[in-house]
Chains A and B, each alone.
Chain A
């Protein structure tokens, strides 16, 4: 089961009335979508509103999603339209040459522009998250750090990582899980994702 299939399963569950499944999709894509929309809407508070609105519109439109494209590609189109409509409603002009297409939707990165639009508070929060993750990464044993780097940054499958690290797939699974748990232990208090809060 690949990443797209995981999304498809979550969408199917949401289409059957499972709101929690949709929350998992939102938890997964909120940052990616928020960064994307910050290209259109400069004010961070407005970006957050438009991102929320895009997710709600996508939820309402779920019955029309047939899985012909990846869920994020479909969500991306809804988000772009939501941002454009938002700007039109405010009497502002939507960017006409964003240069985005569906292929880019999967790999959107634009750190510089986002930093420009951050408020001091959100910038501090972002810096705290990055610092915490980096510190936790540095404290990891080398084999755990390599495994999670190959997975999260290089996007390798477990099988590919096993070949690169010359170890069984079971060891790769274990290393990635242990790396995540070690970083999560440092990050949870900052994110407020302790067990008393949902996410």
Chain B
């Protein structure tokens, strides 16, 4: 008999050797060794309980019992749908990260353009430039060269401030 049973009962057996150890424990001499080693440990700890032929009588009773078949637990092996769910979550997270990562600079740009428009409006007011002058020269404004929301914001502000246009 190898020392695998000794190490198994001490919880010191490597995972790779488990299969061989279980095979050894399927043999009658393996079971006898397991039982004897535990009896030694119990005796050394003063936990000996002298029941003669307890095991033999118990095996007879157990043999008469219907075999227990419990549904397997998924503790040691994650189910396939768990992996599928994890992959879906990862994919959504990646897509979201990429999408928001791309949109973020635009949002910043819009916020800056609003801020810039506000500053410009504040600077325009003290100079008291006539609104009709601004409208007349709007076509020369750099804002008209670009496509976007900037020119629309400015026109709307001018209209609101003037009240007449």
Q: For B1, list chain A residues within 8 Å (CB).
A: 181
- Whether B9 sits at the interface, judged by CB under 8 Å, is yes
Of the four ranges (under 10, 10 to 19, 20 to 34, 35 or more), the interface on chain B belongs to 35 or more
- Whether B54 sits at the interface, judged by CB under 8 Å, is yes
Q: For B22, list chain A residues within 8 Å (CB).
A: 13
Q: For B11, list chain A residues within 8 Å (CB).
A: 1-6, 157
- Complex Cα distance, B42 from A174, in Å, reads 20
Q: Which stretch from B66-74, B82-90, B97-105, B109-117 is at the chain A interface?
A: B66-74
Q: Mark A89-131, 1 if CB is under 8 A from B, else 0.
A: 0000000000000000000010100100010011101100110
Contact check: which of B15, B38, B52, B54 meets A51 at CB < 8 Å?
B54
Q: For A32, list chain B residues within 8 Å (CB).
A: 42, 47, 49
For the residues of A in contact with B, the DSSP-based class is helix
B40→A183 contact, CB < 8 A: yes
A15→B69 contact, CB < 8 A: yes
State how many angstroms separate the Cβ of A185 from the closest Cβ of chain B.
10
Q: Mark B1-31, 1 if CB is under 8 A from A, else 0.
A: 1010011111111110010001001101101
B47→A31 contact, CB < 8 A: yes
- Complex Cα distance, B49 from A111, in Å, reads 9
- Whether B56 sits at the interface, judged by CB under 8 Å, is yes
For chain A, residues 57 to 87, give those with C-beta under 8 angstroms from any C-beta of chain B: 59-60, 62-63, 65-67
State how many angstroms separate the Cβ of B45 from the closest Cβ of chain A.
6
Of the four ranges (under 10, 10 to 19, 20 to 34, 35 or more), the interface on chain A belongs to 35 or more
- Complex Cα distance, B47 from A44, in Å, reads 15
Which residues of B pack against A, CB within 8 Å?
1, 3, 6-15, 18, 22, 25-26, 28-29, 31-59, 61-63, 65, 67-73, 75
Which residues of A pack against B, CB within 8 Å?
1-6, 9, 12-17, 19-20, 22-24, 26-28, 30-32, 34-35, 38, 44, 47-48, 51-52, 55-56, 59-60, 62-63, 65-67, 109, 111, 114, 118, 121-123, 125-126, 129-130, 133, 137, 148-149, 151-153, 157-158, 173-174, 176-177, 180-181, 183-184, 187-188, 191-195, 197-199
